[in-house]
Amino acid sequence: MSPVRIERPRIGFLGAGLNATFHSKLLHRSGLDLVRGAVYDPVRDRAERFAAASGSTVAGSEDEVLDGSDAVYVCSWTSEHPRLVAAAADRGVHVFCEKPLGVDLAAAESVLDMVVGAGIVHQVGLVLRRSPAFLVARELVRDAAAGEVMAVVFRDDQYIPTQGMYASTWRADRHRAGAGTLLEHSIHDVDLLRMVVGDITSVNAHQRNVHGHDGIEDVVSATIRFDTGALGSLTSVWHDNLARPSLRRVEVLCRHRHVVVDGHDWTGPVTWTDTDGSTTVLEGEGLELEAAAILEGEVMTANPDADFVRSVMTGTPARPDVAVAVEAHRVVDAMYRSAATDGATVALHRAG
């Protein structure tokens, strides 16, 4: 079954927090001809603030949103994602689901089964796949002049998002969040490692819980082996340094090129040094123009929400879809299984 074209889609929201606000703003910037539908949030005040800013109407229930929408954003806490996607899929409503898809791999796989079975347009909030910094880094690494990738070092740190601008108290609840920094935050990083370097063969991992929230790890250190033979490391930390919201530093060491993404995970800068001794730094407008050319070649834009709505309008597949997110979930699941066995090697077995 193929999705039908929808000339002027009605867009609803399930959840009205920080992520929903981010997507709503990008929808506004898209300039697309769409209808602002209803928003539902268990905290009515939050839904009312969202509606006042976006032009949505406040719904009294999830069903009211779904029954009046052609496409819906699922921006609830993680444990609710499969249930809400199922409710949308049952009605044939297209879905943009925030990451993670669910609290574990089985939940993520169930989401994939739902959206594929319903034949709806589906996209996932792995928005860093459109980051100018990481798109340019990917192309630098793929360039034949770089030589094969030998190793990658990825560090991601953020103050624990139960405070500050995130103020997400549910992320301290394992029943709603599923887990901590690896699942809730660094699933982005796992996805970026797959995008920039390639598929992952095996992992070893350890974790810590410093803050003491039950089942919510705040430090993960993992070593990675890629299909190509390249080796990597990922360190993810949730701390209490409010001067550091969400920061990433990535080094990719190729045989003939050293590529670094530092500073901001969207705007860079990106720096690379080649074997001839030349060093190049790309940031700001130059970085954005380079990334725009890459996206144009892939028939995408820098605005993931604009692309999602266009896919809904035309009945064409959206990217990244749920299948891409499930592959990141597989790696995260393997890391947790390794950490549970004191860092034992866990091999990845991809579907199919």
Distance CA 16, CA 272 (A): 40
Average pLDDT score over residue span 249-256: 98
The per-residue pLDDT for 329 is: 98
> Residue 117: enclosing H or E segment and its boundaries?
helix 105-118
Tokens at residue 59, please?
């719904």
3 pLDDT tier (thresholds 50, 70, 90) = confident
Does residue 257 contact residue 275 with C-beta atoms inside 8 Å? yes
Q: CATH for 10-127+305-318, among 3.40.50.720, 3.40.50.920, 3.90.1150.10, 3.40.440.10?
A: 3.40.50.720
| Tokens standing for residue 188 | 């982005």
Strands of the sheet with 200-208, listed across from one edge: 279-282, 268-274, 257-264, 246-254, 149-159, 231-239, 219-226, 200-208, 346-347
Evaluate if residue 1 carries a pLDDT over 70: no
Beta bridge partners of 38: 57
The predicted structure's pLDDT at residue 169: 86
Q: What is the pLDDT of residues 116-132, one digit of tens each?
A: 999 999 999 999 999 99
User: What's the whole-number mean pLDDT along residues 215-219?
Assistant: 98
The rounded Cα 74 to chain-centroid distance in angstroms is: 13
What's the mean pLDDT when you consider all of the chain?
96
Provide mean pLDDT across the span 340-344.
98
Give the pLDDT band of residue 273 (cuts 50, 70, 90).
very high
Q: What is the pTM of this model?
A: 0.96
Q: How many CA atoms does the CB half-sphere of 132 hold within 13 Å? A: 22
pLDDT value of position 191: 98
Say which CATH topology domain 128-302+329-346 has.
Answer: Dihydrodipicolinate Reductase; domain 2 (3.30.360)
Work out the percent of the chain whose per-residue pLDDT is above 90. 96
Q: Report, as an integer, the average pLDDT of 340-346.
A: 98
Average pLDDT over residues 80-99: 98
The segment(s) of the chain belonging to CATH 3.40.50.720 are: 10-127+305-318
Which residues make up the CATH 3.30.360.10 domain(s) of the chain?
A: 128-302+329-346
The predicted structure's pLDDT at residue 350: 64
Would you give the distance in Å from CA 325 to the centre of its chain? Answer: 8
β partners of residue 248: 156
